Amino acid sequence: MTVTIIGGGAAGMMAVVAIKENNPDVKVILIEKNSLLGRKVLISGGGRCNLTTGVQDVRQVLTKYARGEKFLTSAMYNFPPADVYEWFEDKGVPLKIEDDMRVFPQSNQGQDVVGVFEQIFQEHGVEVILRNAVASVQKKDDKFFIKLGSGKEIYSDKLILTTGGEAYRHTGSTGDGYKFAETLGHTITSLAASLNSFNIQEDWIKELSGVSFENVSLQVLNTKYSARGPIVCTHNGISGPAVFALSSQVAFEDYKKDNPLLIEVDFVPHISKQELVKSINQILLLNPKQQIQKTLHSWLPKSMVKQQLNNLQIPEDQANASVSKQDRIRIVDWMKSCSLSVIGRGSGSEFVTAGGVDTAEVNPSTMESKICPGLYFAGEILNIDGITGGFNLQSAWATGRLAGESVVSI
């Protein structure tokens, strides 16, 4: 039997391994149009490769996906984060779990992760075709006919599509797999960028470029969309894990300059509004001569306090004793529910694609197409996307492994 896999990213590489681990005699052909394997793996986590999550409760892990949570259940239980961790360590890549529960190689080198697969492929005689894009895919009788841009033709008994989405186009993720899936009868859902930064209309936030906050709460007004975690101010708006998480929830919302997405930012979510009012009143009472700007530094960075007081038209050097009750309430309201207008997605910062092959057309227990027997899918080509923290690579490993195992289990 010959199995061809199109796409040499995380899902494709893991599918190859799963096939060879379960049936070494199967001929496997891996096609990758880049000059090297795993380009997105290499650049994930800022180049250190955030290859999975330290969260081990699978039920909790599944809640980290804006789309695909239910579909992923079988694959995730089959190859959960704990097993992924153990698998890489057994292959000679020591890992570490950082404070934010992201998992990295101890070496902080993504090449160590990709190198594991390259070694396995060499040992098992996997035919790896690099620098060669697939021109077309057809099914003739019970065989798949794959034509490469070079003119090379491949006949295969089984086909696994792991071509990724459209994010990180410079790595080769240009959505080619969607075309192949449609040719073979599948539906592609609407596509959108996810895990992107936000461009903000208000100029004052841009003046804080580089200022970060460890824990804020973001809420889209009049919706259920919310997120909590670190953010950083940029020259265009805001970015960071909490922003990425919220962006995945609003991936299909149409927000722009003349139709902004209105959000509220709670810069001190660890304390209730009532408690904050009480705390500020106590400090103002105990330090009547202290300037209000210095008092507020207990909760916010100096540069943020300056912007806050400027927006509220409260003098920075005003003494605590002369801050009116009304201004105290305004200060607290600003800290707990600061309004921002999102007018666009950060250019070039899309990490994953929301949308893809309709999962209703794929068997979640095997990753095989319900429409085209012998065709399997894995990874970001599917309508699956998670938040940052290793969840997207985790779903790629899990679906890739299940697809590979399923191909040789029949």
Average pLDDT over residues 268-280: 95
Average pLDDT over residues 294-317: 94
The residue with greater pLDDT, 323 or 351, is: 323
Asked if pLDDT for residue 410 goes beyond 70, the answer is no
Q: Which residues contact 103 (CB under 8 A, 6 or more apart)?
A: 50, 51, 52, 53, 54, 81, 85, 95, 96, 97, 390
Neighbours of 1 (CB within 10 A): 14
What is the model's pLDDT at position 43?
A: 87
Asked if pLDDT for residue 350 goes beyond 60, the answer is no
Please report, rounded to a whole number, the percentage of residues in the chain having pLDDT higher than 70.
97
95-129 pLDDT, tens digit per residue, is 999 999 999 999 999 999 999 999 999 999 999 99
Lookup: tokens for 25: 């005699």
What domains can be seen in the chain, in order of their start residue?
A: 2-192+350-407 (3.50.50.60), 196-349 (1.10.8.260)
Asked if pLDDT for residue 331 goes beyond 50, the answer is yes
CB 372 within 8 A of CB 185: yes
What is the model's pLDDT at position 342?
A: 98
Any idea how long the chain is?
410
> pTM of the entire structure?
0.89
- pLDDT band at residue 170 using 50, 70 and 90 as cut-offs: very low
DSSP string computed for 344-385: EEPTT---EEE--B-GGGB-TTT-BBSSSTTEEE-GGGBS-E
| pLDDT averaged over every residue in the chain | 94
125-159 pLDDT, tens digit per residue, is 999 999 999 999 999 999 999 999 999 999 999 99
Lookup: tokens for 234: 């940029």
CA distance 95 to 343: 39
What is the model's pLDDT at position 168?
A: 47
Q: Which residues contact 322 (CB under 8 A, 6 or more apart)?
A: none
